[in-house]
Structure 1
């Protein structure tokens, strides 16, 4: 009871709005704020993957779930898409997001990076960095360090000017520099280790008044704290690289990234709770759930082949609805662990064997407090153990938490929270042919292109992330009429082929090269071969990211290679350039004809729907493309590619209500394949 009272008092202390400077330090046990050791549960919520209208509810639900800290990356390419041109409006308003966290009495962990990976296109780095002469990303490289230092300093100065650091009375208690660098460090040889030291020095030298961390970086230089990322940090983490640093887990993956063509990765509430409890039992005092709310990859922000819905299996789903039992089970876990706070943070730690696969982790406080974690690692059977002359039944692969070393307050395998089910109800059907219009994307030929090269250009270097699309077109002389084999080698994601303006087929691939092979008819004389190369997001990881390429690598007709012919190029689609998805830009739309042609833009309109439940477009009748509502892209869709279970990876696409007007909402889709817009519905989303 004394421990519980102290916990409540401590929670009240850091739950108040921060009106004065706080001293944030750490020791080998935990983070220390104003001389108080703290046990902290954190949840990742990324401000651009939701809307400002959603932020208060997301943060409130996280707080109700026992979360103390909100963790977010800073998305450099979102804020500085063009060098020197900054945008911190709308979903990009990071200051507003942090203010909302502060208003609800929670702390912030700010992961500046600036490389973040995060299944975000180009790992969060702006593509203009690619064109900086002599640059090598994330290395002891002068040009990269210059721009990285400039950006990190700008972010820190912005936070400082808004008085958002805890040292100024704000909510930010931690910052992160770099991200999971140890995975690629060896590829840079000596320039990797020297870069780590430089990055740590940059961070510490900015004097924010709060500690800095490096995740998955065992050699993080003092005083930067090395932290763990993964599913099982209680098992795999080697621990802090100094006895004076606390044991911290920055990414406890509640699910895992899902790409188009893959099934979702489901992680049970029991498994997540087991590994959290084990990490705490092994002296951990900071656990962050990645993600606590995943959200939506709006627009073209998702990395290569990453679906638009992000970590939908998290405690708060894509729409911000509570997902049970994981949310409730973790809430109960947090409450049980907090009952152990006093001995956990100030007591002596002992470990003893209770059996072959059973262990007791015991914490004894100075005033007689005692807390124990009884672990059964046997994944096939229960175990009966004796601890302090009391018999306990431990379910298989579970941990019992005893705040007083006598009574079980919580067992990770026993879920008392009831499951809930997410359902969708059709609220509007877009089945009226009279309300649909269409616009056929023109197919370019060599003669109407202005960009020319006697080589097959790299798509990423050519488009510079301004579009998912790059047209390759060439004139080819053939004599006489014949059927021939067209073979196209690509390392993009999709390629479509047109011969003399007629569609001939497509192919798609993933991480590796793929080949489109089609038998095509060539006429006697000049033939126009037009290829559309498509990227579904840029790569987001790996060493030498600036050197990665994509696009068409080789083109062959029968036995003749066209690689060194003069090619014409068009960056992006004409509809993109004309911004026909925006209400301010119009083209000559035609009545809907249901011709089933490729590369068709579709447009319709609808009035806002009553109620306040989340809304989602059911695009099950469509193929592949992108969708806009009132000019706002709600993301890429790729319904036609199926998982091994023969179903789309994603069928419903989030439509935030803040994107809607009371009347006359404009829905625009770019369809690459044979989608049927008459089958689209707008559904209400709820949980029961």
Structure 2
């Protein structure tokens, strides 16, 4: 638990923000000039934080927004998730965690602005970059270029979102909180792949967006050729050093993604970015006339269900100022809060004063803002990462730490140093509240491995994975019957796949498994097997761990098996790639909704084992039990460290994929703790369902509270 005076002061501060609401944000007219955004005739220097509504729950939103506000954040920035909102063409979903309007109204209630990144391509380490998978089936479509089918659906969805915002009065021009909108996303990364249509598409997208008449400016990030009046912005960790600036002197300098840490994949370690490094680059961006900085992420949250893109873990930007569960990370949160306060105390000269640059040494500079009417502020920069520098500015000596910036109020008094964090560090603590080690509380059921004769859909080739699954499941069975015409000595099954995971079964027994990674795109396996006389059933389960989220020509990406051969005595004797295969999409447990409270015990043709009979270390096995909600309001996590790979549901809602068996180079799982939001729980009687793909021990699963200790 948070303890001591620091924790008490923090709790009081958040409570005051929550009960006060801060006054609903009502921006009015939003324009811009070369210095900043202008809201109701006043220049604004704004700090923004990314919080994605579907990566948390409606119950969490008020607290997350309140903590952001208390940390000096002025704007909440979010993507709009096309594939969540339009799962089928023309059918829309804005319920629950998808309730974009409710999220924005909560931001408005707490007195903050909104930057709405419609995209509708978003990347975001989100499945398929936010694009609906049904777009793949549109004839003649090519994504994100001057292609009429894609532009038709992109325009429809963008218009849908804009009209929804207008109908709720949420644009600043209507008195609402939305002061910015984004069209497209980091298109400059792929524009070169479309030499004939890329530039035309950029112009079209900008014209289409502006034509929707939102009354607020539009932005394009990583888009140097953003057409007027759209503002081009920077993404990255060091935009004060890397950004060449807006493409017009009449546009402000904006940073839409200041990466507070970085994403993490299965098999990868977390990326730790220090509070001091973030503060340095924020201060440098402001010193170079930057007037809008957004932290990506301020709160990352959780990739619930199957929403993460290829190989990404469930926890998203856990090292952000607010961690995956919404707890404050110190000193990052507090150091940035103090930076925001220092900069805001000098707002007038920063936005109105004359800007000059002075050399203070070979790696030292002074950025000075001020005049007789606006006052003065200076940023003294030491770019030497190894040594302290003593500089003289206006006849006064200043000692600058390595790679640091000192902010001088009135160009004299140091009010903030980027390399000096004054905030005590806190540590995250997990406290076990429940072991699930009683065998009598579990029941289990194992999937039946389908053979060729069990399938109804067949083809004389290895078909592409996603064309069959439509991404409604991670799983696709490929089955074939094989009766060797002559003896096969030392048989080896050779498999090549563009999917992420492959499990090979021969006559219902698993003989081998393999997987790729974010860097290894092709899975190749040589599996020694045994064959029986007569007919042999070869069943291969292809599994995906999310679709890719970026790159040109996503619509052409293919997955699943590409080659299956039988090697006898070291020689390829049979090539099954063009043989007749039978297919089964998904798992039986998925089809019957085994994870749903109303269906859990009615799972024909599957049958649960009697309670107390726990099948450990069995592949393709479902486990279920009930549990009570722990008291209190601390975040809860499920520790699945004794399992292998699979997915977990609580009361029918998926808390995400797990892959504990995919270890980092240090021999650790990338993630073993999985967030159960309290909003997913009932007062009593919660259903836990686990699908284990490889084999694990559910009796080692436990439930823990998460809190922080202050040092």
Q: TM-score, normalised by structure 2?
A: 0.94
Which residue in 2 is equivalent to 1:321? 327
Alignment of 1:527-538 (within 5 A): 527-538=536-547
Q: Choose the corresponding residue for 2:506, options 489, 499, 503.
A: 499
Q: CA deviation at 1:516?
A: 1.5
CA distance in 1, matches of 2:246, 2:686: 53
Q: Deviations over 1:353-410 (max 9, x none)?
A: 1000001000013415110000000000000000000000000000000121000000
Which residue in 2 is equivalent to 1:632? 653
Which residue in 1 is equivalent to 2:305? 299
1:580 and 2:586 correspond? no
1:276 and 2:282 correspond? yes
SS in 2 for 1:444: coil
CA distance in 2, matches of 1:482, 1:429: 49
Alignment of 1:130-141 (within 5 A): 130-141=136-147
Alignment of 1:141-180 (within 5 A): 141-180=147-186
Q: Contact 1:482 / 1:521 at 8 angstroms: preserved in 2?
A: no
Unaligned runs of 5+ in 1: 1-13
Q: Contact 1:482 / 1:523 at 8 angstroms: preserved in 2?
A: no
Q: Choose the corresponding residue for 1:590, options 593, 599, 609.
A: 609
CA distance in 1, matches of 2:121, 2:616: 45
Unaligned runs of 5+ in 2: 1-20
CA distance in 2, matches of 1:403, 1:452: 74
SS in 2 for 1:289: strand
Which residue in 1 is equivalent to 2:50? 44
Alignment of 1:592-607 (within 5 A): 592-607=613-628
Q: Deviations over 1:31-69 (max 9, x none)?
A: 000110000000000000000000000000000000000
- Residues 481 and 64 of structure 1: is their aligned pair in 2 closer, same or farther, counting only changes over 3 Å? same
CA distance in 2, matches of 1:497, 1:483: 17
Q: CA deviation at 1:594?
A: 3.0
Alignment of 1:218-617 (within 5 A): 218-367=224-373, 369-478=375-484, 479-480=486-487, 482-510=489-517, 511-558=520-567, 559=572, 560-585=574-599, 586-587=602-603, 588-591=607-610, 592-617=613-638
Alignment of 1:52-91 (within 5 A): 52-91=58-97
SS in 2 for 1:576: helix
SS in 2 for 1:336: helix
Q: Contact 2:25 / 2:110 at 8 angstroms: preserved in 1?
A: no
Higher mean Cα deviation, 45-54 or 555-564?
A: 555-564
CA distance in 1, matches of 2:128, 2:468: 15
Q: Deviations over 1:474-518 (max 9, x none)?
A: 111114375301111112111000001111010010242121211
Q: CA deviation at 1:15?
A: 5.8
CA distance in 2, matches of 1:286, 1:636: 36
CA distance in 2, matches of 1:273, 1:223: 30
Q: CA deviation at 1:641?
A: 0.5
Q: Runs ≥4 in structure 1, deviation > 6 angstroms?
A: none
CA distance in 2, matches of 1:595, 1:635: 21
Q: CA deviation at 1:596?
A: 2.2
Alignment of 1:669-684 (within 5 A): 669-684=690-705
Which residue in 1 is equivalent to 2:670? 649
SS in 1 for 2:666: coil
CA distance in 1, matches of 2:70, 2:241: 28
Higher mean Cα deviation, 509-518 or 557-566?
A: 509-518
Q: Deviations over 1:590-624 (max 9, x none)?
A: 13333422110000111111111000000111110
CA distance in 1, matches of 2:614, 2:189: 52
- Residues 388 and 15 of structure 1: is their aligned pair in 2 closer, same or farther, counting only changes over 3 Å? farther
Q: TM-score, normalised by structure 1?
A: 0.97
Higher mean Cα deviation, 602-611 or 61-70?
A: 602-611
- Residues 623 and 26 of structure 1: is their aligned pair in 2 closer, same or farther, counting only changes over 3 Å? same
Q: Contact 2:22 / 2:109 at 8 angstroms: preserved in 1?
A: no
Q: Contact 2:186 / 2:221 at 8 angstroms: preserved in 1?
A: yes
What number of residue pairs does the alignment pair up? 674
CA distance in 1, matches of 2:664, 2:211: 48
Q: Contact 1:581 / 1:628 at 8 angstroms: preserved in 2?
A: yes
Q: CA deviation at 1:190?
A: 2.2
Which residue in 2 is equivalent to 1:3? none
SS in 2 for 1:668: strand
SS in 2 for 1:625: strand
Q: CA deviation at 1:287?
A: 0.1
Higher mean Cα deviation, 217-226 or 596-605?
A: 596-605
